[in-house]
């Protein structure tokens, strides 16, 4: 009898193990079916980053098994640092929340001491970038400053957002490293507010605006030549801007240390439209999200939508962006120190 009971127990154990082995894994479509994915957008409604993110949100779900619905939510503040901090510490890690943030918030902890305790950009999981490009400094048509050469000689009032935003950082960078006589008026909520300030004559212009954003937000300004494009900031020159005769910032930087510092600052443009998942996101879901992002970037329907929205698409994979961010955080300390200085208000 003990032998029979033992065999019965053993048989039960085998059957239990067999059932466990035979049980199918939780499939992606089982997880995402009927779910929503919250898409945190770290900018105001109507800005360039918002336009990009919402265009992507309209198509990304079709490339995820189970076809979840994407729900865009704007959470501006601190140059998208508010959204980044939420994603780092509060957002669920199950693949149901992703974010669109400014590249400046990724490089921020290197350049701003106050940001170091909020989040570590190397811990985010990068899904990819929709664009890599050039940023420009512009003035409105009524400004006396028509070129960067004019800006070297005369005072220019440039509107900007808070510290950490590209409009502020790039204005000071062009002042401190290239000699432009920019007087920076910061505190504007976003680019849309700065555009209005330019039209009202409160400021001459702004810096740190993506060329692609300018074309999508203000196509009439570009078409009707309502603006003066002073200079282009990027690792490489933009062919379209070259044809317009817009000089690169490198022409005006004479100091090698400053060149290295500017190279570090503009390297963020390699991931010009970064999309992220929270640290610790379930690996299987991260793989799904990265694959969906890559598929979306080559989706004819998305590309047609992007063309209609006047946004350029020059994508980088999540793995590539992750690699660039890690290299960026290995920059020598002396270059980081100088980069901090050139994006800050002049001392004294």
pLDDT, one tens digit per residue, over 285-297 is 999 999 999 999 9
- The DSSP code for 8 is H
Residue 263 sits in a domain whose CATH number is: 3.40.190.10
Element (H, E) at 99: strand 97-100
Please give the radius of gyration of the chain, using alpha carbons only, rounded to the nearest integer. 24
- Residue 102 CB neighbours (<10 A): 28
Question: Within a domain: residue 166?
Answer: yes
Sign of CA dihedral 318, 324, 325, 330: positive
Question: Within a domain: residue 7?
Answer: no
Last residue of a domain, one of 242, 267, 292: 267
Residues 6+ apart with CB under 8 A from 205: 137, 138, 139, 140, 143, 145, 156, 158, 159, 198, 227, 228, 230
131 CB-contact burial (10 Å; exposed 0-12 / middle 13-18 / buried 19+) = buried
Structural domain count of the chain: 2
Question: Within a domain: residue 115?
Answer: yes
Query: The whole model's pTM is what?
Result: 0.75
Q: Is 242 in the same domain as 277?
A: no
Q: Is 210 in the same domain as 330?
A: no
Question: Within a domain: residue 12?
Answer: no
Q: Which two tokens stand for residue 305?
A: 């939508």
Residues 6+ apart with CB under 8 A from 228: 138, 139, 140, 141, 143, 145, 146, 147, 205
Q: Is 257 in the same domain as 287?
A: no
pLDDT, one tens digit per residue, over 305-336 is 999 988 889 899 999 999 999 999 999 999 99
Q: Is 234 in the same domain as 324?
A: no
- Residue 314 and residue 298: Cα distance in Å, rounded? 10
Last residue of a domain, one of 229, 246, 267: 267
- Alpha helices by DSSP H, 68-223: 81-89, 103-111, 148-153, 166-178, 191-200, 211-217, 219-223
Q: Is 289 in the same domain as 335?
A: yes
- Residue 194 and residue 200: Cα distance in Å, rounded? 10
CA dihedral 294, 269, 115, 120 (to 10 degrees): 40
Phi and psi of 34, rounded to 5°?
Answer: 80, 5
Confidence (pLDDT) at 30: 86
Question: Within a domain: residue 2?
Answer: no
Confidence (pLDDT) at 133: 83
Q: Is 196 in the same domain as 160?
A: yes
Q: Is 102 in the same domain as 139?
A: no
Question: Within a domain: residue 344?
Answer: no
Please identify which residue in the block is written with the tokens 């898409």.
Answer: 39
Q: Is 109 in the same domain as 75?
A: yes
Question: Quick one: which of 118, 122, 78 has its CA closest to 101?
Answer: 78
Residue 307 sits in a domain whose CATH number is: 3.40.190.150
pLDDT, one tens digit per residue, over 241-273 is 999 999 999 999 999 999 999 999 998 888 989
Last residue of a domain, one of 229, 251, 267: 267
Element (H, E) at 29: helix 28-32
- Residue 211 CB neighbours (<10 A): 25
Confidence (pLDDT) at 16: 40
Q: Is 188 in the same domain as 248?
A: yes
Question: Within a domain: residue 203?
Answer: yes
Long-range CB contacts (within 8 A, 24+) of 335-338: 335/257, 335/260, 335/261, 335/264, 336/110, 336/111, 336/264, 338/257, 338/258, 338/260, 338/261
Confidence (pLDDT) at 109: 87
Q: Which two tokens stand for residue 164?
A: 């950490």
Q: Is 141 in the same domain as 263?
A: yes
Q: Is 311 in the same domain as 328?
A: yes
Please identify which residue in the block is written with the tokens 């640092």.
Answer: 81
Question: Within a domain: residue 22?
Answer: no
Which residues of the chain are modeled with pLDDT < 70?
A: 1-29, 114-117, 348
Q: Is 67 in the same domain as 178?
A: no
Confidence (pLDDT) at 348: 60
Sign of CA dihedral 334, 336, 342, 348: negative
Which three-class secondary structure state does DSSP give residue 1?
Answer: coil
Q: How far is CA 43 from the centre of its chain?
A: 10
Question: Quick one: which of 264, 252, 278 has its CA closest to 325?
Answer: 264
**Domain with 313 in it:** 28-132+269-339
């Amino acid at each position: 009898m003990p032998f029979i009971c033992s065999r019965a127990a053993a048989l039960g154990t085998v059957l239990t193990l067999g059932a466990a082995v035979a049980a199918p894994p939780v499939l992606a479509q089982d997880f995402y079916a009927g779910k929503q994915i919250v898409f945190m957008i770290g900018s105001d409604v109507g800005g360039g980053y918002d336009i990009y993110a919402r265009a992507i949100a309209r198509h990304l779900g079709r490339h995820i098994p189970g076809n979840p619905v994407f729900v865009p939510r704007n959470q501006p503040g601190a140059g998208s640092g508010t959204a980044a901090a939420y994603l780092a510490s509060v957002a669920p890690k199950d693949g149901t929340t992703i974010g669109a943030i400014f590249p400046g918030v990724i490089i921020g902890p290197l350049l701003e001491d106050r940001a170091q305790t909020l989040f570590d950009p190397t811990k985010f999981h990068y899904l990819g970038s929709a664009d890599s490009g050039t940023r420009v400094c512009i003035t409105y048509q009524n400004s006396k400053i028509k070129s960067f050469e004019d800006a070297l000689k005369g005072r220019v009032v440039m509107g900007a957002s808070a510290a950490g935003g590209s409009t502020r950082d790039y204005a000071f960078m062009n002042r401190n490293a290239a000699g432009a006589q920019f007087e920076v008026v910061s505190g504007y909520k976003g680019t849309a507010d700065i555009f209005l300030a330019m039209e009202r004559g409160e400021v001459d212009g702004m810096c740190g605006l993506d060329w692609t954003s300018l074309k999508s937000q203000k196509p009439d300004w570009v078409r009707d030549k309502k603006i003066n494009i002073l200079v282009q900031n990027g690792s490489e020159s933009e062919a379209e801007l070259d044809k317009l005769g817009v000089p690169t910032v490198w022409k005006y930087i004479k100091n090698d240390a400053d060149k290295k510092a500017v190279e570090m600052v503009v390297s963020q443009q390699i991931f010009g439209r970064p999309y992220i998942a929270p640290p610790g996101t379930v690996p299987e879901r991260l793989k799904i999200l990265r694959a969906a992002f890559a598929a979306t970037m080559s989706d004819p329907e998305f590309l047609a939508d992007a063309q209609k929205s006047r946004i350029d698409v020059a994508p980088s994979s999540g793995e590539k962006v992750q690699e660039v961010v890690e290299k960026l955080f290995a920059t020598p300390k002396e270059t980081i120190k100088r980069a901090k200085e050139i994006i800050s208000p002049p001392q004294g």
